[in-house]
Amino acid sequence: MSMKTSENEKRAGSPAAKPTAEAAPGSTERPLRVAVIGSGPAGVYAADILTKSEEVRNGLQVSIDLFDRYPAPYGLIRYGVAPDHPRIKGIVNALHKVLDRGDIRFFGNVNVGTDITLAELKTYYDAVIFATGAVNDADLNIPGIELEGSFGGADFVSWYDGHPDVPREWPLEAKEIAVIGNGNVALDVARMLSKHADDLLVTEIPDNVYRGLKSSPVTDVHIFGRRGPAQVKFTPLELRELSHSKDVDIVLYPEDFVFDAASDEAIRTNNQVRTMVNTLTNWLVEQDDDVTPARTPASRRLHLHFLHSPVEITGTDGKVSGIKFELTELDGTGRARGTGEMVHYPVQAVYRSVGYFGSAPGDVEFDHQRGVVLNDGGRVLAADGTPVPGIYATGWIKRGPVGLIGHTKGDALETVTYLLQDLAQLPAAANPDPDAVVGLLASRGIHYTGWEGWLELDSHERVLGAAASAHGGVQRERVKVVSRTDMLTAARGANARV
């Protein structure tokens, strides 16, 4: 069933006054038309920074449309961060405030490349900014990675975050699990695997995820890092969050607490490193001191191992049965080198969380080694290294999957600054009428969610949360809708209220 154009316009927000096709972008006759692809922090920050730029304060008119292939906004904040993450709500609230102002239109459930092409966007917009992020797992090229029970951490994150394009079920059959990686995603994966499902009911966890985690027989989750405690890529808040899991013991190993000259220097000069090393060391001391006979051990254990480099995933009958590591040592500079000593751990599942990797958005040059769009400071480049007029990138698809939210803001500022410097060279859109892209999507039967549609879906998830709270006795702010069809139905306001 296709929606009428008038309904589409309502969902996307009221369009600006129709400009003349002959007017230059940003002139007094018509606004500068910009399409941003991706509604995660990178895309929203770029749009927000552009609307608040000095050029806009001095009279430049801008008209910004934000496209996302998912029916809901917020990108990896919704689909890439554990539901019990302590800072999710604050970040979502900040992004919501930007989009709720009404000066940026949102088009959810629109896949740029299939529903609308880059060439078509260039017809309707003077500039296009890619903010598509990085959602795939980085490779870990060791023998056995293909065995049944070997998983990508990013795939697991997509499952427990209710991504609409992944299967509803996840094979949670292992009692002993290895998580490879020493970053925040590895911590999220390990915490979600070891945490009791009932303790997640206060979050927006989807019902199918709760049922899956509830049935998990896991007893031990091991996190392995190649370097030492002073070289971990965690952040203090995420590390401390591990200790908040009920009925889960944290297990550390004294032989892993080795520090070289570079480690000592980092501890002395870097507050974040010092905080994390102190946290880990305190846990180790508390663990050694905890000899209270009356203490009942937890039913689950979360082990943190350092100075382990993965060598091979071993298997039996095509299934994971263990993982082999080479023990490493620090070389004085904070780097790790192999010792030649091998150790083997019996596990029935392995999750690799060694980083994210971007995928080519199509019709632009892509650096397949780094997983980013070929660019110079945000200006997208052609194969010969020259800038492609009017095409830009920001966020992880620009610089790779590194840095925190604060880095994303600075990154977006750099990209927008270059775009504004290029105003005189931007190719004017042939059809900059804001109604034109709405008409194109309507003609193709694209059931997109505008901002009003998202507010309907958001309200529906909160209603589901209230109903679940009344039924189960646990206060739930929302229950995340997983099915794309159900999301679109709720966004159209047609779902019966529970």
CA distance 215 to 343: 30
More confident site: 494 or 32: 32
- Residue 155: Cβ-neighbour burial (10 angstroms; 0-12, 13-18, 19+): middle
More confident site: 9 or 96: 96
In DSSP terms, which residues pair with 151 in a beta bridge? 351
**Tokens 């305190």 belong to residue:** 282
**Position 230 pLDDT exceeds 50:** yes
**Position 494 pLDDT exceeds 80:** no
For 409-433, the DSSP string reads HHHHHHHHHHHHHTGGGSPPPS---
**Position 170 pLDDT exceeds 80:** yes
Which stretches of 181-267 are assigned E, i.e. beta strand? Answer: 220-224, 248-252
CATH of domain 138-355: 3.50.50.60
**Tokens 């039996």 belong to residue:** 316
Q: Across residues 250-256, what is the average pLDDT? A: 96
**Position 126 pLDDT exceeds 60:** yes
Q: Across residues 236-243, what is the average pLDDT? A: 90
Strands 372-373 and 366-367: antiparallel
CA distance 150 to 178: 10
Confidence at residue 291, expressed as pLDDT on a 0 to 100 scale: 57
Averaged confidence pLDDT in the chain: 90
DSSP-derived letter for residue 230 is: G
SS3 assignment for 4-59? CHHHHHHHHCCCCCCCCCCCCCCCCCCCEEEEEECCCHHHHHHHHHHHCCHHHHCC
Q: Kindly report the length of the chain.
A: 498
Confidence at residue 292, expressed as pLDDT on a 0 to 100 scale: 56
Among 159, 177, 175, CA closest to 167: 159
- DSSP H helices, 290-348, are none
Among 139, 142, 137, 138, CA closest to 325: 142
Among 46, 36, 41, CA closest to 414: 46
Confidence at residue 295, expressed as pLDDT on a 0 to 100 scale: 66
**Position 18 pLDDT exceeds 90:** no
Strands 336-345 and 319-330: antiparallel
Q: What are the pLDDT digits (tens) for 403-441?
A: 777 788 999 999 999 999 999 999 999 999 999 999 999
Q: Under a CB-based contact definition with an 8 Å cutoff, are residues 178 and 68 in contact?
A: no
Sign of dihedral through CA atoms 402, 407, 410, 412? positive
**Tokens 């970053």 belong to residue:** 183
Q: What are the pLDDT digits (tens) for 445-467?
A: 999 999 999 999 999 999 999 99
Instruction: Order across the sheet with 32-37: list the strands.
Output: 104-107, 62-67, 32-37, 127-130, 387-393, 379-381, 375-376
**Position 10 pLDDT exceeds 80:** no
Q: Across residues 376-391, what is the average pLDDT? A: 97
- Joined together, the tokens standing for residue 359 give 């995928």
More confident site: 196 or 493: 196
**Tokens 């304060």 belong to residue:** 57
Residue 464's φ and ψ, nearest 5 degrees, are -60, -40
How does residue 497 score in pLDDT terms, banded at 50, 70 and 90?
very low
**Percent over 90 (pLDDT), the chain:** 77
CA distance 1 to 485: 12
Residues contacting residue 345 through CB under 8 Å, at least 6 positions apart: 176, 178, 222, 322, 323, 325
Q: Which of 14-18, 134-138, 250-254, 278-282 has the lowest mean pLDDT?
A: 14-18
275, HSE (Cβ side, Cα atoms, 13 Å): 11
Confidence at residue 493, expressed as pLDDT on a 0 to 100 scale: 73
CA distance 233 to 136: 19
Q: Tell which CATH architecture fits domain 5-135+358-449.
A: 3-Layer(aba) Sandwich (3.40)
Residue extents of the structural domains in the chain = 5-135+358-449, 138-355
CA distance 46 to 3: 30
Q: Across residues 4-28, what is the average pLDDT? A: 49
Confidence at residue 85, expressed as pLDDT on a 0 to 100 scale: 82
CA distance 156 to 163: 10
Q: Which of 5-9, 235-239, 258-262, 410-414 has the lowest mean pLDDT?
A: 5-9
Q: What are the pLDDT digits (tens) for 67-94?
A: 999 999 999 899 988 888 867 778 899 9
Q: What are the pLDDT digits (tens) for 285-337?
A: 998 766 555 568 899 999 999 999 999 999 999 999 999 999 999 999 999 99
Q: Under a CB-based contact definition with an 8 Å cutoff, are residues 76 and 356 in contact?
A: no
Confidence at residue 138, expressed as pLDDT on a 0 to 100 scale: 87
CA distance 44 to 108: 13
Put residue 153 in one of left, alpha, beta given phi > 0 → left and psi -120 to 50 → alpha: alpha
Confidence at residue 14, expressed as pLDDT on a 0 to 100 scale: 37
Confidence at residue 22, expressed as pLDDT on a 0 to 100 scale: 56
Neighbouring CB atoms inside 10 A of 330's CB total 21
CA distance 243 to 226: 22
pTM for the whole structure: 0.89
